[in-house]
Structure formats: C-alpha cells, structure tokens
Structure 1
C-alpha cells in the first residue's frame, strides 16, 4: 500500500528537488546528522493504519491521520484517539506489520551513503517502537525515537505509554542527538512529510519536505518531489 502523498514529479512536471541547497558549513563539511520521519517518509505506509486494519478501524484511523498530517488536528490528541481504536488487537500484530512494511525506494542507499560520509542518521516517529526499532536496527540507524503501545494479557489496551513523539519531541530529539554526536545545528538535516515535522524542519541546518503535504512543502526550505530518498543527496 502507498499512502496518499504528493503526486510524482513526472505527473506534475516538477523537478526531483526544489528550493534551497546545502550552503556554508553544511556544504563545505557535509551533513553530520540527518533526522527523518518514518511513516510515509522512510517507509511507504502509515504503521498505525496497518494495525488498524486488524481492528476493523482502518478507514476511520486513516481519515484522522490525514487531518493530523495536514496540521488540522493536535497530533498528540489525534494519536490517542486513533490508538484507542486498536484496543483488543493481539500483540502478534507487530511481527505481522513488520513483514508488511515497505521501505521507500532509495532508503537503504541514502542511509549507506550518509554513513559513508561520516554522517549519523536518526529517525523520529509518531509510530511505534515495536515496529520502528527492529526496522531501524536492520538499517543501521543510529538514533531512534517512537511511541510505545501498552499491552496487557497479550493484547493492545488502546493506550500509549509515556511521552508522545509529537512536533516538540521531534525538535528535542534533533537538538539532543546533534549535541550527543558533537554536530553543530548548521550541519543537521531534517526530513519529513507531515505538519508534525515542521518544527524540526525549521530548526535544522537544512529542512526538507519529502513528497509532503502542501502545508509542509510551502514552509520547508527545500523539497523532494519523487518517492526516491536518494534525491535528498541532490540537495547536499
């Protein structure tokens, strides 16, 4: 399944990338840290929708997700609303969904190219650790932040445990990881497709909208218009 995002560059006549390119220290030394969203960015799907399919609530969840990504709803509140519909789904769903996840074309190549340049890579996800962490480990990703679903007696309770990875948490992770890696903010890159990514996109040395919702493409300094993550290298 492919999540509804911007049309392909070919269908709109857009170039692969547009907007700002790396400049200053970022251009001279290269990126030191790239942080990206997961659902509809690193991967083609929205994980919560894959889980909701097992609960029979996929259509409802997809509609709320779309509104949240357009910036029409508070992300944390909308996440709690969507997660509540998952109550009763067996925890075996995590392994099933992990098998369904499709990497966005160029994902592995982008990560390998960044690592070859000495750049660290992090993912910040409004999705769930139970799926994101194994995926990140398989790709050699250096930093991971995602939400965690509560499980009791082998089934999902419909609640989120601990903090929620929302717009502010994504900003916090970007700064914390840059500091931990000894990377100045001028050498950071942030990449995402939804309104909850706008904060980190604004804070990074170069913020990139990836096949994003219009509100994100309009605000981001740079944009990728093709579903090929190696296009990010064109900006660097």
Structure 2
C-alpha cells in the first residue's frame, strides 16, 4: 500500500468507513457478479493438470473472495482471506484479527503453514501487491502481476513481472 500505516490499521480504517453490515454485504453480492481476470480459469486448470494445488490468499473479505474461488473451483479450505464479524443484529462488529491475512506479514505466515502442512518443495506466489511479494520467502518464487493494477514497488522488485495470465501459461507450456 505504501503508507506508514500497517495493513491491519489501514484495513480497519477502511472497514470503519464502509461499515459493512451483513445485509449490505449480501446486497452487494446479489448485485455484483464476481469478475475474473482474463485467462485465470485456464491458468488454474493448467496448474491442476500438472498436479499443482491452487490456493487463493487475499487481504480481501472472505464473503467477496469465496464466490471468485467457487468460479475457479478452488475449495473453501484453500482460501485464506479476512473474516468480518457481525453483531446478532447483523451490524458490523469488526474483523477477525486472528486471520493471518488481516495484518502485515500475514501472507508469509499462510505460505509457511502450507509448506509445513503439505510438505511442498516448491511454492510460487503470484500477486500485484507488496504484501504478496513479502510472502517470498517463504515462497520459493514470486511472480509480480500487473493486469489489474501495476504497483511500482512490485514491478521494480519482481524478477518476473507478468502482464497477463497468458504470458505465464505460455511459459508453463514450454
């Protein structure tokens, strides 16, 4: 993000402004179909055909991320994102600060856990944000991704900065 606030402070401030009640989130999901980046479905399918497990690790909100994961056939247990908390009335009560993705340095925690839990010898992180890049290490490689947004720090520090999923697909098919 680039500012002096931590990810958790920034996330908390944005949520206070949005104040997402259970009803608001439900209406948003009903009126906004999940959008997929061109080529992502083919990319995920190619990874699976090569025997790779696919995870979605996001600093976003679980209720918004899960429909995207469902379109990509990524099981819920392979999705790591932030969980909102609500009062019984359905009003916003905050977010689960125990979710690793709710804080700076959380994505490396998820990656480390996956490597230990599953014994992965090679794990590659792909993302457009600094928090994605921070997950390498423990990820063995990082691919900066600049289709939806291009962040200067990510572009400059990535050994590989892809501008489409097709670019990555082409390399995997070589």
Both structures adopt the same fold (TM-score exceeding 0.5): yes
1:223 and 2:161 matched: yes
Match of 2:92 among 156, 160, 167: 156
Match of 2:113 among 176, 179, 183: 176
1:79 Cα deviation after fit: 0.4
Q: Structure 2 CA distance, aligned partners of 1:229 and 1:112?
A: 12
1:72 Cα deviation after fit: 4.8
Q: Structure 2 CA distance, aligned partners of 1:230 and 1:201?
A: 23
1:106 and 2:39 matched: yes
1:82 Cα deviation after fit: 0.4
Q: Structure 2 CA distance, aligned partners of 1:155 and 1:196?
A: 29
1:204 Cα deviation after fit: 2.2
Q: Structure 2 CA distance, aligned partners of 1:115 and 1:181?
A: 16
TM-score (norm 1): 0.62
TM-score (norm 2): 0.81
Number of residue equivalences: 163
Higher relative contact order (CA 8 A, sep 6+): 1
> In angstroms, what is the RMSD of aligned CA positions?
2.2
1:127 and 2:52 matched: no
1:192 and 2:127 matched: yes
Flag structure 1 segments of 5+ consecutive residues without an equivalent.
1-67
Give 2:152's aligned residue.
Answer: 214
Q: Structure 1 CA distance, aligned partners of 2:156 and 2:140?
A: 17
Give 1:97's aligned residue.
Answer: 29
Give 1:44's aligned residue.
Answer: none
